[in-house]
Chains A and B, each alone.
Chain A
Amino acid sequence: MKCNVINTPVHNVDGIAKVTGRATYTFDVTVPGMLFGKILRSPHPHARIKNIDASAALALNGVRAVVTGKDTLGIKQGIWRRYKELCDEQILPLEKVRYIGEPVAAVAADTEEIAEQALDLIEVDYEVLPAVYDPMEAIKKEAPEIHEGFERNINVTRHIEWGDVDDAFDEADYIREDWFRCSGQAHACMETRCAVASYTADGKLAVWTSTQSAYYHQVLLADVLGLKESDVRVIAKYVGGGFGGKFELDAAQFCSSVLSMKLCKPVKIVFTREEDFIASKRRTPMYYYVRTGVKKDGTFLAREARVFTDGGAYTGMGATALYLTGFFHSFPYKWRGYRHDGFRVYTNTLPSTSMRGFGTPHATYCSELQIDLIAKELGLDRIEIRRKNGHTPNYEVPGQATIASCGLEQCLDEIEKWIKSRGELPPNRGIGISSYGFMSGGIFNRFDTPYSFSSAVVTINYDGKVDLHVGAQDIGQGSNTTLAIICAEDLGVRLEDIRVHSGDTAECPPDLGAWGSRQTLMAGNAVKMAAGEAKRQLLEFAAAQMSPNIVYDLDIKDRWVHLAGRPERGLDYFEVVKKALRGKDGQRIMGRGYYTPHRKGMISPAYSYGVQALEIDVDPETGKIKLLNCVTAHDCGQPINPLGLTGQLEGAISMAAGYGFLEDIPIEDGMVMNPNLVDYKLIRAPDMPETEVIEIETYEPEGPFGAKEAGEGLTNPTAAALATAVLDAVGVPIKELPITPEKVLNALKEKKAQ
């Protein structure tokens, strides 16, 4: 497709503000008269709160208020608002605490230090209850009950099935079954959870916060505080990372609001890094059982899987992780019969939730490693087995999803070429591969929004410059840039003509926000519609002025309003705008756009595809892994901003490789053992492999200009590619994440002993 703006690499539109330190993050927000809040947290994994005595804290000079559950409406909230039984979290609980670090009380004081000191003076009388920390223990009959009315602590179940699974297994020449264990992961955003809440005497609340969806937080805060949605304004102009961890209500937002409403003063709460580790939410850990039946020639017939996820103390977005891991465990392959049973189990640990990939990195790791084991067992080529069974364009996943564009086969071709180019590998070196796919936005609306999923407003001013208002949330992934590019392309102006307004519920239309890789497709479609509507109005005026033969179409490209068939005949865009406004009695030209998916299956309107190859060295004496090269063939439809795409790819590899071999959240007796950046091992630059992306261009009919998901799905393959690389390099399958040197060395010793 011939584009003027799309597919040209550009820096993010907010780049200058960020690199010059002028971007105002919630960390930076100061409001006159602002107080500082701190949160008292439970030292027990499971306990009944018998009494809270805050009198000594209140007596401390500089302390303005202490609030507990009794100062709240006591509403149990959750993000699945359509399912009341899954709204299970009181952020300041009235009766019980269910994990170490759960908020119990909050203090507002003149300084942060006074607030912290006040915490020591609050006396909480607990009755300690028996606790359970592992889903396989919590599901037992004799396990302690964490929430009333959930038998065996099972929080959510999910069954997915198509085809005749048992029949398909009967036809199999070879059946393999394995257990896998997938770890949790911290979002570890640069900006920890934080909020400044300012309630004023007119009954209105403004909250600056770090969020993936200002609209979600507007609604969630209104719900728990008993306010009208429109009386709550949420502002999030700049957000220091989200990765799936910032669209549930958090204690910084809730406690600062409760304190501010009590005092009619602004209150700021910023989580410490330790609080962020122990008392936010995390990637959902999972136990996976996978059974797969294939024909001798490698044709996939049937798969059945059971997953037990460690839900932690509350539901959050974790229920969606259960569903998505169930669906994407089939991906990107065709199964005659497929059955997936998911059980989300409560435990007395910090709650688990969504995180970039949302259940899919786990599903991909278990699936891809098992496929390589099957290929090895049957003596089949591992690219060929994937090609034989992979999704193809216009494939329908029975009852679940309709695939339109799919570049999986081209991706496999490219990766096969690359692997061949590496030639014979030295000992202890291996190349792992993983196919993957992901959704471009979720169709589900368990949040129960009455609004369109995405909305946008395009306004053309007298000087031809354009204001683009979107509810989509830029959290560092560059959505403002993507949407500005789409707007400029459609309107026929340049990128610098667009000013994007986002992250403020008072001035932007509602939008579900940044999750599930939805914004390029959904908000992008809304922007395209809004820009198209504005353009139509402008062209009506231009047509009247130019009076061409009625058979001609008009178009705008690069600020030139012209006859589509005869581009040399045209008018300057800025002149046309000026005159058009006068013709509209001075009214600015405005276009509105929206998008809500209809008749697009159960999951998503479109799917990205890819194949990743990862070359590693294994030190057989220490088990240590060195990442050498990572090559990803990737089908995201039409790329919008190639530079942004590269950033997403490299960021995803760093996060997913970290998940694969470094990061973990060990919990002992309910306590997170590594709540700091020394022992929580994020990957760092020297550990990154050389990365390369091979762009496979397809055209996605449902996406704006043919675009689909690009940033999140890339998190899915790397742990899988690492596991298959270890298998290739030293012949051992590591069935438990993260793949630590200890596990590798242990497996090598066991292999030697056999």
Chain B
Amino acid sequence: MRTFEYLKPASVNKALALLDLYGDQAKLIAGGTDVMVQWKKRIISPQVLISLRNLAELSFIKFGGGLEIGAGTTHRALELSPEIREHFPVIHDAVSNLGSVQVRNSGTIGGNICNAAPSADTAPPLLVLDTNVRIASTKGERTVAIRDFFRGPSRTVLQTGELVTLFSIPAPLPRTGMAYSKHTRRKAMDLPIVGVAVLLSFEEDLKTCRKAAIALGVAAPTPMRAANAEAFLAGKPVDKTTLLEAGKIASEEASPRTTIRGSAWYRKEIIRVLVRRTGLICMERAKGAARS
């Protein structure tokens, strides 16, 4: 019969030891919202599932200017964090409209990133925040910038025996606004046709762009940064016109596919619109942050 062994180590170190022992025959499971679906669809058939569920050392949110998020933190915990809502609203935007409350109570940010779906809602926010991903194995630790983490649909830089423990986010510059927009058919319980995260840091005039970061989901085989659009905005006054142009450039950088969820031409169209709209939200938020 098609079955698997379910192991529940009590610590990250024990989990790493098990990963070493079973190698490619093992699959890590956290919330299970992706893994169990893949198992049922027979996309994966591991002999062993190593559970990271409820490991306290992976589940935390540490705020101190910058932000550290344990990989096992649930979407719901992120959604309910007042610090994230106030200081990293781009993450709040993404996790508060991801799946249902039930899914958010179970699914984790580490799982969402390691599953490496082009549509992962938490990927564009972590991309614009220049997040560092800490990776552990029995051999030690290494850190990878998130923009280097994804290698293709369902593929990452993770090697056999490695797991993600932490997302480390540097403190944003002053006068920064950030937001994530998700284009869906329905208002809830939907995957993005396109997801766009924008982060804009301003000079003291609150107009001139000091730094721009734009990340796109479902726009390419992996979540991506729109580097040309970012370069275009840097140093320029930000307004509807420049954002419209940035949207056009980002749309040209993207290489989306046509699937039943959306046509390539439509996705490009939406990127154009969402970069502008999300940029405008960033401006509002930056002004709000400067006032407070």
- When the two chains form the complex, which single residue of A114, A624, A662, A741 contacts B1, counting CB atoms closer than 8 Å? A114
Contact A113 B186, CB 8 Å, known A679-B260, A745-B266: no
Shortest Cβ distance from B274 into A: residue? A622
Q: Are A686 and B187 in contact (CB under 8 A)?
A: yes
Known contacts A621-B273, A684-B188, A687-B186: A742-B266 contact under CB 8 Å: yes
Is A742's CB under 8 angstroms from B262's CB? Answer: yes
> Measured between alpha carbons, how far is A686 from B187 in the docked complex, in Å?
6
A613-660 at interface with B (beta carbon < 8 Å):
621-622, 624
> Any chain A CB within 8 A of the CB of B189?
yes
- Are B263 and A742 in contact, CB atoms less than 8 angstroms apart? yes
| Known contacts A621-B273, A622-B273, A674-B260; A683 and B186 CB within 8 A of each other | yes
Which residues of chain B from 133 to 155 have a CB within 8 Å of any chain A CB? none
Which residues of A lie under 8 Å from residue B262 when comparing CB positions?
742
User: Which residues of A sit under 8 angstroms from B187, Cβ to Cβ?
Assistant: 684, 686-687
CB within 8 Å of A: which of B79-110? none
Asked whether any CB of chain B lies closer than 8 Å to the CB of A262, the reply is no
Chain A residues near B189 (CB-CB < 8 A): 684
B183 touches A678 (CB 8 A): no
Distance, CA A50 to CA B260, complexed state (A): 34
Q: Determine the distance from Cα of A674 to Cα of B186 in the docked complex, in whole angstroms.
A: 16
A668 closest partner in B (C-beta): B260
Prevailing SS type, chain A contact patch: loop
Give Cα distance in the complex from A44 to B260, angstroms.
Answer: 21
A622: chain B residues within 8 A (beta carbon): 183, 269-270, 273
Q: In the complex, what residues of B have CB within 8 A of residue A740's CB?
A: 185
Contact string against B for A residues 720-754, beta-carbon threshold 8 Å, 1 for contact and 0 otherwise: 00000000000000000000111001000000000
A428, CB-defined interface residue at 8 Å: no
**Are A662 and B270 neighbours in the complex by a CB distance under 8 Å?**
no
Asked if B284 is at the interface of the complex by the 8 Å CB criterion, the answer is: no
Which residue of chain A has the shortest Cβ distance to B191 in the bound complex?
A678
Q: Chain B nearest CB: distance from A743 CB in Å?
A: 10
A674: chain B residues within 8 A (beta carbon): 260
CB distance from B46 to the nearest CB of A (A): 17
Cβ contact within 8 Å between B273 and A681: no
Residues in B whose Cβ lies below 8 Å from that of A117 = 1-2
What sequence of 0s and 1s flags, for each residue 268-292 of chain B, a beta carbon within 8 Å of any chain A beta carbon?
A: 0110010000000000000000000
Chain A residues in 8 Å Cβ range of B24:
none
B14 — which chain A residues lie within 8 A by C-beta?
Answer: none
> Across the interface, which residues of B come within 8 angstroms of A143, CB to CB?
none
Tell me, in angstroms, the Cα distance from A685 to B190 when the chains sit together: 13
Q: Decide if A666 is an interface residue (CB 8 Å cutoff).
A: yes
Q: How far is the CB of A188 from chain B (nearest CB, A)?
A: 14
A404 at interface, CB cutoff 8 A:
no
Task: Given A674-B260, A678-B191, answer yes or no on A662-B266 (Cβ-Cβ < 8 Å).
Answer: no
Q: When the two chains form their complex, are residues A673 and B260 in contact, meaning their CB atoms are under 8 A apart?
A: yes
B240 at the interface (CB under 8 A from A): no
A685 to B1, CA, bound (A): 40
Residues of A near B261 (CB, < 8 A) are 679
- How far apart are the CA atoms of A685 and B2 in the complex, in Å? 38
- Which residues from chain A contact B186 at a C-beta distance below 8 Å? 662, 681, 683-684, 686-687
Bound together, the chains give a CA A662 to CA B273 distance in angstroms of 22
How far, in angstroms, from A624 to B2 measured CA to CA in the complex?
Answer: 43
- Which A residues lie within 8 Å of B188 (CB)? 684-687
Distance in angstroms between the alpha carbons of A685 and B188 in the assembled complex = 9
Q: How far is the CA of A741 from the CA of B265 in the complex (A)?
A: 12
Instruction: Please report the C-alpha to C-alpha distance between residue A666 and residue B261 in the assembled complex, in whole angstroms.
Output: 11
Q: Mark B1-23, 1 if CB is under 8 A from A, else 0.
A: 11100000000000000000000
**B residues near A621, Cβ cutoff 8 Å:** 273
Size category of the binding interface on chain A: 20 to 34
CB-CB under 8 A from A742, the residues of chain B are 262-263, 266
Q: Is the CB of B190 within 8 A of A745?
A: no
Nearest to A685 among chain B residues (CB) is B188
User: B194: nearest residue on chain A (CB-CB)?
Assistant: A622
Inter-subunit contact B185/A741 (CB<8 Å) = yes
Distance from B223 Cβ to chain A, minimum over Cβ atoms (Å): 19
Name, among B183, B187, B191, B273, the residue most crowded by chain A CB atoms within 10 Å (CB to CB).
Answer: B187
Which chain A residues (568-612) contact chain B, with CB distance < 8 Å?
Answer: none
**B266 engages A741 (CB within 8 Å):** yes
Complex Cα spacing A117 to B42, Å: 12
Q: How distant is the Cα of A683 from the Cα of B269 in the complex, in angstroms? A: 24
Within 8 A of A (CB), among B221-274: 260-263, 266, 269-270, 273
A686 to chain B: closest residue by CB? B187
Nearest CB in chain A to that of B276: its residue: A621
Q: Measured between C-beta atoms, what is the minimum distance from A655 to chain B in Å?
A: 15
Residues of chain B in range 161-196 having any CB-CB distance to chain A below 8 Å: 183, 185-191
Residue-wise, chain A 658-672 has the 8 Å CB interface mask toward B (1 for contact) of 000010001000000
**Alpha-carbon gap, A541 to B190, bound state (A):** 65
In the complex formed, the residue of B with least CB distance to A677 is B189
CB-CB < 8 A to B270: which residues of A?
A: 622
CB proximity of A321 to chain B, nearest CB, Å: 25
**B26 to chain A: closest CB distance in Å?**
22
CA distance A114 to B2 in the complex (A): 9
C-alpha gap A642/B187 in the complex (Å): 30
Contact A662 B269 (CB under 8 A): no
Instruction: Give A278 to B120 CA distance when docked, in angstroms.
Output: 27
CA gap between A116 and B2 in the complex, in Å: 9
Q: Which residue of A lies closest to B100 (CB)?
A: A684
Nearest CB of A to B265, in Å: 8
Instruction: Scan residues 107-159 of chain A and give those whose CB is less than 8 A from a CB of chain B.
Output: 113-114, 116-117
Q: In the complex, what residues of A have CB within 8 A of residue B185's CB? A: 662, 681, 740-741
The residue in chain B whose Cβ has the minimal distance to the Cβ of A621 is B273
Determine which residue in A114, A117, A622, A683 has the highest number of CB atoms from chain B within 10 A of its CB, and name it. A622
Q: Chain B residue with minimal CB distance to A272?
A: B40
Tell me which residues across on chain B come within 8 A of A116, comparing CB atoms.
Answer: 2
By the criterion CB–CB under 8 Å, are A113 and B191 in contact? no
Residues of B within 8 A of A686 (CB): 186-188
A548 to B87, CA, bound (A): 86
Taking each of B261, B263, B269, which has the highest tally of chain A beta carbons within 10 Å of its own beta carbon?
B269
Q: List, in ascending order, chain A residues with CB within 8 A of B191's CB.
A: 678
B67 CB to closest chain A CB (Å) equals 29
List chain A residues, Cβ under 8 A from B1: 113-114, 117
Give the complex CA separation of A80 and B269 in angstroms: 49
Considering the complex, which residues of chain A in the window 492-527 have a beta carbon less than 8 Å from any beta carbon of chain B? Answer: none
Set of chain B residues within 8 Å of A741, measured between Cβ atoms:
185, 266
Q: For A679, what are the chain B residues with a Cβ–Cβ distance below 8 Å?
A: 260-261
Q: Which residue of A lies closest to B190 (CB)?
A: A681
Instruction: Please name all residues of chain B whose beta carbon is closer than 8 Å to the beta carbon of A687 when the two chains form the complex.
Output: 186-188
Q: How far is the CA of A366 from the CA of B2 in the complex (A)?
A: 50
Q: Select which of B2, B3, B260, B269 is within 8 A of A745 by beta carbon.
A: B269
Within the assembled complex, what's the spacing in Å between the Cα atoms of A114 and B1?
7
Whole-angstrom distance between the Cβ of B227 and the nearest chain A Cβ: 24
Complex Cα–Cα for A686 and B263 (A): 25
Chain A residues with Cβ below 8 Å from B183 are: 622, 624
Chain B residue numbers with a CB within 8 Å of A624 are 183
Instruction: Specify which of A117, A674, A742 lies most central, judged by the most chain B CB atoms within 10 Å of its CB.
Output: A742
> Which B residue's beta carbon lies closest to that of A626?
B187
B267 shortest CB reach to chain A, Å: 10
Cβ contacts A682-713/B at 8 Å (1 or 0 each): 01111100000000000000000000000000
Q: Within the assembled complex, what's the spacing in Å between the Cα atoms of A428 and B30?
A: 45
By beta carbon, the residue of chain A nearest B263 is A742
Give the chain B neighbours of A662 by CB distance below 8 A.
185-186
Per the bound structure, the CA–CA distance linking A740 and B193 in Å amounts to 13
Residues in A lying within 8 Å of B, measured CB to CB:
113-114, 116-117, 621-622, 624, 662, 666, 673-674, 678-679, 681, 683-687, 740-742, 745
6 contacts between A and B (CB under 8 A): A673-B260, A681-B186, A683-B186, A740-B185, A741-B266, A742-B263
Chain A to chain B: the 6 pairs with minimum beta-carbon distance, closest first: A686-B187, A621-B273, A742-B266, A673-B260, A686-B188, A117-B1
Known A117-B2, A686-B187, A687-B188; further 8 A-B contacts with Cβ < 8 A:
A622-B270, A622-B273, A662-B186, A673-B260, A678-B191, A679-B261, A684-B186, A685-B188
